[in-house]
Structure 1
Amino acid sequence: MVISSKLLDDGERVLVGTRTHVKALLLPALLLVVTAGLAGFLSTLPGGERAGTWRLVIWVVALLVVLRASVLPFLRWLSTTYVVTDRRLITRTGLLTRTGHEIQLDRISDITYEKGLLDRVLGCGTLVVSDAGEMGIRLPDLPRVEQTQLAVSRQLYRSSRPHDDA
């Protein structure tokens, strides 16, 4: 589950719950492979009595690069969630310091999506949600962005229709 049921109001139901698309991990994965390959190649070069020290330095630098370029983006991806309920849009992100943002659905004035060429190939995009008081929030690399936009639009339509008392 993308969001704990403890964070939902009574009777509130989740319409869409997701993380960013795995596309966000393509570059970190590539950097991991390149760094490991480069470190492996460079560790074969040193010779002589200081070869062990140079190999240690190479692998420590490689480890630091991998932590910064691959592990941190993976942890950010893992800790970022987007949830649309029948009442609000909820975003949560952060490793040590959590940041959350909520917009009540009845405050949303516009919801659009953007898809570049790579986004179209991979089936993701950026959802842009605007409310009356803000410029809007961008939810980048959202999987199935068109379906998410449609689900929010349908819920907005349902919420705006007058209820029949008969």
Structure 2
Amino acid sequence: MAFPEDVLADEEEIVLHLRPHWKAAVAPTVVLLLALTGLIMGWVMLPATEGGRIGLGLVAAIMLYYGGRYGAYPWLAWRCTEYVLTGERLLMQWGVVDRQRRDLPLNRVNDHSLTQSLLDRVLGSGTLTVDSIGDQRVVLAGVPAAQLVQTTLYELIELAPADEEEEAEEQPQRGSSSGRSSR
């Protein structure tokens, strides 16, 4: 799924476009497979009598409920969650039925930290917590290549203020040199 370009500013470019690590989709996929297996076993093993059909309906209802609630919905939530890092901001977008989007300008970021369990370290994922001005906190759970994302975030935060300071310093110098030549 491509990130909508109309969300970005005119000259804003995407640096990283991620979704949560694939490990978040493993459990829902296993639940879906188990629900499908239970449904097939009920269909094969229950007799073709009226009681068997009632039992199969009951098994089907249970498997559909658990497969939908603990399998399909979490898998769709994983699939519909996106983390986008641009040169100016961090965007998070999530939601299956209703979409939610949150923007965090990089110039408002105070601190960012990375938390990794042993499994996260093995898989290269982690939870990135970003704190910003005004006691706002954003938690990006299950970020793939978490150390690379944290390093990239740090570099973008450090580059953004330097660019603004250089532009502010260059403008008075240009004005003063043009003022001298007109005299």
**Shared fold (TM-score, shorter chain, > 0.5):** yes
RMSD (Å), alpha carbons? 1.8
Bigger Rg over Cα: 2
Relative to 1, partners in 2 of residues 1:49 and 1:96: Cα closer, same or farther, differing over 3 Å? closer
* Of 8-17 and 50-59, the range deviating more from structure 2: 50-59
For 1:49 and 1:9, the matched residues in 2 are separated by 63
Aligned residue number for residue 119 of structure 1? 120
Once structures 1 and 2 are overlaid, which stretch shifts more, 118-127 or 45-54?
45-54
Gaps of 5+ in 1: none
Q: Does 1:60 align with 2:64?
A: no
Query: Mind listing any 5+ residue stretches in structure 2 that lack a counterpart?
Result: 174-183
- Higher RCO (CA 8 Å, separation ≥ 6 residues): 1
The Cα of 1:43 is off from its aligned counterpart by 4.4
Identity fraction in percent? 25
1:110 aligns with 2:82: no
| Greater share of residues in helix | 2
Runs of 4+ in 1 over 3 A off after TM superposition: 38-49
1:76 corresponding residue in structure 2: 77
Describe the SS at the equivalent of 1:110: strand
**What is the identity, as a one-letter code, of the residue corresponding to 1:79?**
C
The Cα shift of 1:44 comes to: 4.8
Q: Distance in 2 between matches of 1:49 and 1:23?
A: 42
Match of 1:13 in 2: 13
State the SS of the aligned residue for 1:9: coil
Q: Distance in 1 between matches of 2:144 and 2:11?
A: 26
TM-score when scaled to structure 1? 0.90
Matched with 1:37 is: 37
- 1:3 is aligned to 3
